[in-house]
Chain A
Amino acid sequence: MKTSSIGTRRFALIGLGVLLVAAMTYVVMRSGPLAPTRVTVVQATEGQLTPQLFGIGTVEARRSYLIGPTTTGRVRAVAVDVGDTVKAGQPLAEMDPVDLDERAAALDASVARAGSAIAAAEAQRRDALARRELAAVNARRYVELGRQNFISTGAVEARQQEQASADALVTAADANLAAARQDQQRLAAERAGLRQQRANARLLAPADGVVSSRDAEPGSTVVVGQAVLRVIEPSSLWVKVRLDQARSGGLVVGLPAQIVLRSNPGRPLPGKVVRVEAISDSVTEERVAQIGFDQVPAGLSVGELAEVTLSLPPTAKAVLLPNAAIKRRQAQTGSWVIDAGTLRFVPVRIGQASLDGQVQVLDGVKPGVTVVVHSEKELGERSRITVVDALEWRRP
């Protein structure tokens, strides 16, 4: 009885000891310098990738019109509001003409008066013509009588002088008439100019569009160059996208694009690159391109943020690796290759990359080679590793 009890105790104690030793071994093997680093691997495969470019931009209007007066003045009326659709030539606003109407009325009166002046000049001319005719007849008669010596030479010369005066009077009357006509022309031209100025005070829509902002209200004074209204053409909306210079290789006009608007992230819209600006931003190190929508969506707002993904043509076949497998050691770019159970750092030359994280390896890694992708910590040549399917790392 007693011996068996001691035996069970001994077994229990030995069991406990074994358990402790096992736990200790597990602890030593799992943590500390003896523990292997868990890694996941991938076989390098050949394939094509579709490089993509990604940038963010804002919706802008290709054609937007700032409508304002050409002279400083006060706004008299604004006929439209933000969001109104307007047709080309439609009056949108009017500047205060101040005294233009009165000046036009005055000119109207002046033109009428000029007409009267013409009539007077014409009458004077007719009078002068009549006087000239009479003077000519008189002169002819006196010359005849003078030749027959019925009258003195002095009387003949007096009549001849009368005729010359009458001629001069006709010329003067002609000139007066012409001057009166010119005066009328001048006044008419002035009146037309004033009417144009009056028309200029009305601000008309230059094209079909939508009023995007109303910057001045009736009564406010605007200076030259300041806008009263802004009108945009909704059909001309596009996205001005900024792409990181380092990732803008292959950006050309015509590339297909996917536009994701911030207001509707679930629905990408198709489009394409319609303009690549020749000047890139040297401060932000970004290139600028304009992306046109294939079909401009309804309710699009100018200034909205958009994410744009451009697809480049697929590359030639090459070895592809996930970008997590590309490491940098000092100044070298390379990958950890498992070669017959040992780790080796192989320098690689990388080409293009796709947005889903695939990288083209131009040389350094052959297809079929096992490459380390993820690792628990940074690897070295002497790291001990165990390959696992995934480094499930849940939050404890």
Chain B
Amino acid sequence: MISLAGRDILHSWSKFVLTGIGLGLLIGVTLTMAGVYRGMVDDARALLNNSGADLWVVQQDTQGPYAESSSLRDDAVRSVLGQPGVARAANVTYLTMQVRRTSEGGAAPAGSGDDDVRAMVVGFEPGQPGEPAYLLAGRHITRSHYEAVADVRTGFTLGERIRIRRHDYTVVGLTRRMVSSGGDPMVFIPLKDAQETQFLKDNDAIVNDRARTAANPSLNRPGVPGLLEAIQASQANNRNVNAILVQVWPGTDAEAVAEPVRRWKHLEAFTREQMEEILVAKLIATSAKQISMFLVILAIVSAAIVAFIIYTMTLGKIREIAVLKLIGTRNRTIAGMILQQALGLGLIGFVVGKVAATFWAPIFPKYVLLEPGDAVRGLVAVVVICALASTLAIRIALKVDPAAAIGG
């Protein structure tokens, strides 16, 4: 018994293969769009995972370091460490900024857009929560100043000098999947440097501020030597951080630790679930919905196109089907042929799409997460759509008049 479907495919194989590849690329786009959406949500989760915290302590009445700006004194961590149930706690700062790569000769010329990278600069205390959990290459920070660990997405390499505000940092380690909720790669630097980066103004502003203070007669009194210097010194430093990352002892309820912090320390504390809620449901909600809307439309359009392709392909063979009917082929054989072809096309399309999506996903500037679950759902959808589309085509095929083979 010969396979009618196989014979037909062999007959017009180029058409079949090209249609399959075209279909595959379309499915690939849909899978990628799903990946973009998943990647977006995963970026937000990665941010929480990487911080390694069970509890975020932030400024009172603010929603954390990620969704809102928060600022608290860097000695607040000591009183948090004294709370029952707290295993480890550490200060952390976050600042999204452009990080410049310095050439050997000095700073990169201003305005050369290629040499700066948008990154989230994280100030952390080595060995404490907030540290990158794993490295791809190099080592962790050992000096208390001017060393950095960067996400590979920044494009920095080991030993490279990068410039953050006025200081040059040496990249000593590379890590991966350390991103902000917006998908910007992270650059980890020691906390003290980060505090300075975040709160220290540029030199011109400092000089201007000094002049302004000196011009204020109540701050620069003639009879009080040293007053001006003292005021200027107090203006130049800032000992604030954005959040305290807290790890609780295993088996301790994070909410039970958070409650006294909120009540008695006059700070806000978020548990992991609350933080995820803030990030996923509030921070990226609109953009994620935007993408998911697009994904839904793309999925519907793809399904329609797949259905139409299968349908028109069958219509294109109406003459041959009429001949088959004329020579007395059974309806089941004809239906089977159409179904087999449709499913084959769908399978080829899916495989091509999956492979294509996997290969082009890393080229995307932001993270594209191709979840196996999505792939399976996609496969089921493709098979179902192909089957549905082919039933439409089968109805047409079975209704065709054998006389059409001879006529028109």
Interface residues of A in 205-252 (CB under 8 A from B): 221, 223, 225-227, 243-244, 247
Residues of A contacting B355 in the complex (Cβ-Cβ under 8 angstroms): 20, 23-24, 27
**Residue A382, interface by CB 8 Å:** no
Q: Is the CB of A307 within 8 A of B358?
A: no
* Contact across chains for A357 and B139 when beta carbons are under 8 A apart: yes
Per-residue interface assignment for chain B, residues 128 to 160, with 1 indicating a CB less than 8 Å from any chain A CB and 0 otherwise: 000101111111101111100000110100000
| Nearest-CB residue, chain B, relative to A248 | B144
- Does A331 touch B at the CB level, under 8 Å? yes
- Sample of 13 more A-B contacts, CB < 8 Å, known A20-B352, A326-B140, A331-B88: A13-B9, A31-B358, A54-B145, A55-B144, A225-B225, A226-B225, A307-B145, A323-B142, A331-B247, A357-B142, A373-B135, A378-B133, A393-B152
Query: Are A378 and B134 also in contact (CB < 8 A) when A223-B223, A393-B152 are?
Result: yes
A221 to B222, CA, bound (A): 9
Q: Please measure, in the bound complex, the distance between the C-alpha atom of A379 and the C-alpha atom of B135, giving whole angstroms.
A: 11
Chain A nearest CB: distance from B329 CB in Å?
Answer: 20
Number of chain B residues close to chain A: CB under 8 A: 52
Query: Which residues of chain A are within 8 angstroms of B359 by Cβ–Cβ distance?
Result: 27
A323 x B133 contact (CB < 8 A): no
Give the Cβ gap from B351 to chain A, nearest Cβ, in Å: 5
Chain-A contact segment, one of B172-180, B284-292, B306-314, B393-401: B172-180
Chain A residues with Cβ below 8 Å from B250 are 330-331
User: Which residue of the partner chain B has the closest CB to A17?
Assistant: B348
Measured between beta carbons, the chain B residues less than 8 angstroms from A30 are 358
Q: Are B351 and A20 in contact (CB under 8 A)?
A: yes
Query: Are B133 and A13 in touch, CB under 8 angstroms?
Result: no
Is there an interface contact between A357 and B172, defined as CB atoms closer than 8 Å? Answer: yes
Residues of A close to B172: CB separation below 8 A: 357
24 sampled A-B residue pairs with Cβ under 8 A: A6-B10, A32-B370, A33-B372, A54-B143, A54-B145, A55-B145, A56-B144, A225-B225, A283-B75, A307-B146, A324-B138, A324-B140, A331-B250, A357-B172, A373-B135, A374-B134, A374-B137, A376-B134, A376-B176, A379-B134, A393-B136, A395-B155, A396-B362, A396-B363
Contact B13 A13 (CB under 8 A): yes
Q: Mark A13-30, 1 if CB is under 8 A from B, else 0.
A: 100100011011001001
| B residues near A6, Cβ cutoff 8 Å | 10
Binding site for A on B (CB under 8 A): 9-10, 13, 17, 49, 52, 75, 87-88, 127, 131, 133-140, 142-146, 152-153, 155, 172-174, 176-177, 192, 222-223, 225, 239, 247, 249-250, 348, 351-352, 354-355, 358-359, 362-363, 370, 372, 375
Given A31, A227, A390, which contacts B137 in the complex, CB threshold below 8 Å? A390
Which residues of A are found within 8 Å of B127, using beta-carbon distances? 328
Asked whether A327 lies within 8 Å of B133 as measured between CB atoms, the reply is yes
Report the Cα distance A223→B192, complex, angstroms: 39
- Size of the A side of the interface (Cβ < 8 Å), in residues, is 54
Chain A positions 379-396 with a Cβ under 8 Å from a chain B Cβ: 379, 390-391, 393, 395-396
User: Is A356 part of the contact surface with B, judged by Cβ < 8 Å?
Assistant: yes
CB closest chain-B residue, reference A282 = B75
Residues 311-359 (chain A) with a chain B CB within 8 angstroms: 322-324, 326-328, 330-331, 353-357
B347 to chain A: closest residue by CB: A20
B137 touches A391 (CB 8 A): yes
A16 B17 Cβ-Cβ under 8 A? yes
Chain B's nearest CB lies how many Å from the CB of A77? Answer: 21
Contact of A377 among B139, B177, B354, B375 (CB under 8 A): B177
Report if A147 contacts B (CB, 8 A).
no
Candidate in B75, B140, B363 with the most chain A CB atoms within 10 angstroms: B140
By a CB distance below 8 angstroms, the chain B residues around A326 are 140
B153–A322 contact, CB under 8 A? Answer: no
Distance, CA A396 to CA B348, complexed state (A): 27
Contact of B136 among A27, A354, A391 (CB under 8 A): A391
Cβ contact within 8 Å between A9 and B10: yes
- A132 to chain B: closest CB distance in Å? 64
Q: Is A79 an interface residue (CB 8 A)?
A: no
A357 CA to B147 CA, complexed, in Å: 12
Is B174 in contact with A356, judged by CB distance below 8 angstroms?
Answer: no
Q: Which residue of A is nearest B344, CB measured?
A: A17
Minimum CB–CB distance for B90 against chain A, Å: 11
